[in-house]
Structure 1
Amino acid sequence: MDDAVTLEAPRFLWIGRSDEPNPVAAVDEAVSAFDVSEVCFVLAFLPSHLDVDETAQALSARLPGPPVYGCTTAGQITGEGYEDHALLLLAFPKANFRCASALIDDLAPLEAPQVAAQAQRLDDKFRHRMGWKRLGLVFCDGLSKQEDLLISTLDAVLKGVPIFGGSAGDGFRFERSFVLHDGRAHSNAAVLVLVETNLEFQGIGFDHFLPMGRQIVITRADPDERLVYEINGAPAALEYARLVGCPVTQLSPEVFAENPMLLRHNQKFYVRAVREVSDNHAMSFLAAIDDGLILTLGRGREIIETLDAGLDIQNAGGHVPDFVLGFDCALRKLEIEQKQLHRNVSQILRKRRVFGFNTYGEQQSGVHMNQTFVGVAFFEAQSREPTP
């Protein structure tokens, strides 16, 4: 697709963005793109350079009516495709959406019974509107190490409600990440948003890896900290480096992104991504890990083709989505930039009208995963033909 082509804007989503370095100026510019009085709620995705508290305060002051949810990010997906320095606001119109939310604070350690009760209360209080369909959105502190238990708990409680989410990031610093709720930024927390819509929607989830058959057994780990000390009875980083054919001194996020470890669950393979390697050759992961876990080394397929194919969806009437809310792993973006495919991928994201952010992990179908694209495609509701 030619960069000069102007794409038609979504009909059921308003988009505001700004590159301003000052939080107040950025919020003012982004909010000016839509009529606040017509907005049900706003999702805000923050770049790492904006002060999160100042931005949250500015959003609260500039948007006194509609609630604002969202998080800090490892990158934004705007109308230009991949970006790193844009404040992105996605405004959902009252005519097509309604919502209710809960802040799950003091996330680590997660108390599953309390989270389950909180989610159940929210679901019970948020009365269904006739003919509208419900889904859940989750934004979680990406450094909390609680996403696995959180999403499995929510999925078990909110039966019949599909839940999609992404873990907040802070670029690639791995220092602090925040979620937004009730005009404030919160760490060690998650936000659950129940959404009802009169639009059709369809969940999306895919990656670009195939199992290579090389078995990996976790022989010593600290599950609470997502740390692996031994693989196949050897120091973890040394054994991993041997398996992928890379000197241990050259292990890097780029190597991890292209050589992930895959966990088989319910006949599907999910990536267990490596965050970093410590001086004692322990490996830190971005998702749940445990002693005795059997993994398989993965190898990537062509990421451009799998992205375009994964987003090439239609509804039953043969119509393409009006827009896609996307949660795309930061490690996918890292691989794309390493291979100098940024422009090509951004073209695909623009063409498919994808808006969202780059995550520290993705949630769908009760599972927390890595190096995956997860999203929700929204379609204009099709009118029903009268019964003869």
Structure 2
Amino acid sequence: MDAAVHQTQPSPSLVGVGVSHARDPVAAVREALASLRETGSCFVLAFVPDALDPHIVVSEMGRLLPSTPVFGCTTAGQITNSGYQDDALLLIAFPKDHFRCASTLIKPLKPVSIEQTATEARRLSTRFQRTANWNRLALIFADGLSKQEDVLVAALEAGLEDVPVCGGSAGHGLAFDETFVLHGGQAHGNAALLVLLETDLSFLELGFDHFLPTEKRMVVTRAVPEERLVLEINGSPAAQEYARLIERDIADLSPQVFAENPVLVRNHNAWHVRAIQQVVGDNALSFFSAIDDGLLLTLGRGQEILRTMDTCLSLPDRAGAKPDFILGFDCFLRRLEIEQNGLTKPASELLKSHRVLGFNTYGEQHRGVHVNQTFVGIAFFPTTERLPF
């Protein structure tokens, strides 16, 4: 499919967008803010590239926007109004005319207390006074190396009950060394940020990948669940057995190979990706999501990634209107696959045409589940008609 056939769409009208490619963090903040049209902001989301120091970014934003909350995180890539980017500081300003917010920082994140996290989320929701006829949703940004997102999102889902929760795990390029969330004028490691929103706009949740299960099955026969580490698959060293099943040499295993050969788990009638991060030590495999002894894994086969993206991002409301913008959290492994297949330009054109803004993640949270190699997001429509979730 030639995504270039999509005509250029106008920029979102409901949020302000500022972008800078400056390599100096202070200069980047100033440039991005200068291009950010004044919206009377309720809050600003900041998605920080790996080349910029997040501590300096959030400090400078706090100095220049002393009365506006700044939320966000470090990233493994950004999705701007030009599509996929690697070096862009992206700012999204949410106007007071359409949004209200409350937030809390969960720190330390590791280990997660299910009861305490659910209680804190419930308390935040209770104290956040409801506005008549406005709808609620929650955004979650978590340390992408904490290995706590599975428990975290389940606890939040329990605490917030009928409020939809959507978000992404912070990244740091392909370094996998440290990640940060932004809150209260600081960049925090080993933390998660919960932002509770109210809006008079209608919105829809979305989540999709492009994989189907194959006939190749495997069983985790030895694991270290708290570290998301698989030592053995089918009774053999994990990396050795995985390489055999995908017909590659162990030396070939890399993020790009993992992206094209994901493993899936079945949850009722749905399949979710359990993405592999890297080979560790003596043929062990480190994962981005929960793993346990006895877990049945199925090798996945990719479908046309651009066609899937175009179809799933096409979300007209009941009146036929397109979203004004889509806040998107797209796994970095999806982007690696796109880049490896020379599809970055048409993929960026698709993201532009559907007005997607967001970042590339180390993992995604959607409907109470932490997933990988998935696009999740929220489409906001220029109407107050309430839509079914």
8 A Cα contact 2:105 2:191, kept in partner = yes
TM-score scaled by structure 1?
0.97
Q: Secondary structure at the match of 1:127?
A: coil
- Show the counterpart of 2:61: 59
Q: Secondary structure at the match of 1:169?
A: coil
CA deviations 1:272-299 (Å, max 9, x no partner) are 0000002300000000000011111101
Residue among 206, 215, 219 paired with 1:204: 206
Q: Secondary structure at the match of 1:188?
A: coil
Distance in 2, matches of 1:35 and 1:312, equals: 27
- Show the counterpart of 2:161: 159
- Show the counterpart of 2:301: 299
Measured after TM superposition, the shift of residue 4 of structure 1 is 11
- Residue type of the alignment partner of 1:157: G
- Show the counterpart of 1:46: 48
Measured after TM superposition, the shift of residue 21 of structure 1 is 0.9
Measured after TM superposition, the shift of residue 33 of structure 1 is 2.4
Q: Tell me, yes or no, if structure 1 residue 257 matches structure 2 residue 263.
A: no
Measured after TM superposition, the shift of residue 345 of structure 1 is 0.1
CA deviations 1:68-97 (Å, max 9, x no partner) are 100000000001000000000000011000
Q: Secondary structure at the match of 1:343?
A: helix
- Show the counterpart of 2:369: 367
Structure 2: runs of 5+ lacking an equivalent: none
Q: Tell me, yes or no, if structure 1 residue 248 matches structure 2 residue 250.
A: yes
- Structure-to-structure mapping, 1:113-262, within 5 angstroms: 113-262=115-264
8 A Cα contact 1:238 1:248, kept in partner = yes
Distance in 2, matches of 1:347 and 1:9, equals: 13
Measured after TM superposition, the shift of residue 5 of structure 1 is 5.8
Measured after TM superposition, the shift of residue 255 of structure 1 is 1.0
Distance in 2, matches of 1:350 and 1:149, equals: 34
Judging changes above 3 Å, is the alpha-carbon distance between structure 1 residues 310 and 3 closer, same or farther for their aligned structure 2 residues? closer
8 A Cα contact 1:36 1:63, kept in partner = no
Measured after TM superposition, the shift of residue 117 of structure 1 is 1.3
Q: Secondary structure at the match of 1:106?
A: coil
Distance in 1, matches of 2:59 and 2:24, equals: 13
Distance in 2, matches of 1:37 and 1:355, equals: 17
- Show the counterpart of 2:358: 356
Distance in 2, matches of 1:177 and 1:277, equals: 20
Q: Secondary structure at the match of 1:344?
A: helix
Distance in 1, matches of 2:262 and 2:8, equals: 37
Distance in 2, matches of 1:345 and 1:318, equals: 24
Q: Secondary structure at the match of 1:229?
A: strand
- Show the counterpart of 1:376: 378
Measured after TM superposition, the shift of residue 22 of structure 1 is 1.0
Distance in 1, matches of 2:80 and 2:5, equals: 14
Judging changes above 3 Å, is the alpha-carbon distance between structure 1 residues 261 and 189 closer, same or farther for their aligned structure 2 residues? same
- Structure-to-structure mapping, 1:22-37, within 5 angstroms: 22-36=24-38
CA root-mean-square deviation? 1.4
Distance in 1, matches of 2:144 and 2:280, equals: 19
Structure 1: runs of 5+ lacking an equivalent: none
- Residue type of the alignment partner of 1:281: N
- Residue type of the alignment partner of 2:382: E
Q: How many residues align?
A: 384
TM-score scaled by structure 2?
0.97
Identity %: 54
CA deviations 1:268-325 (Å, max 9, x no partner) are 0000000000230000000000001111110101111111011011111111100000
Distance in 2, matches of 1:61 and 1:383, equals: 38
Measured after TM superposition, the shift of residue 112 of structure 1 is 1.2
Instruction: Report which stretch shifted further, 151-160 or 27-36.
Output: 27-36
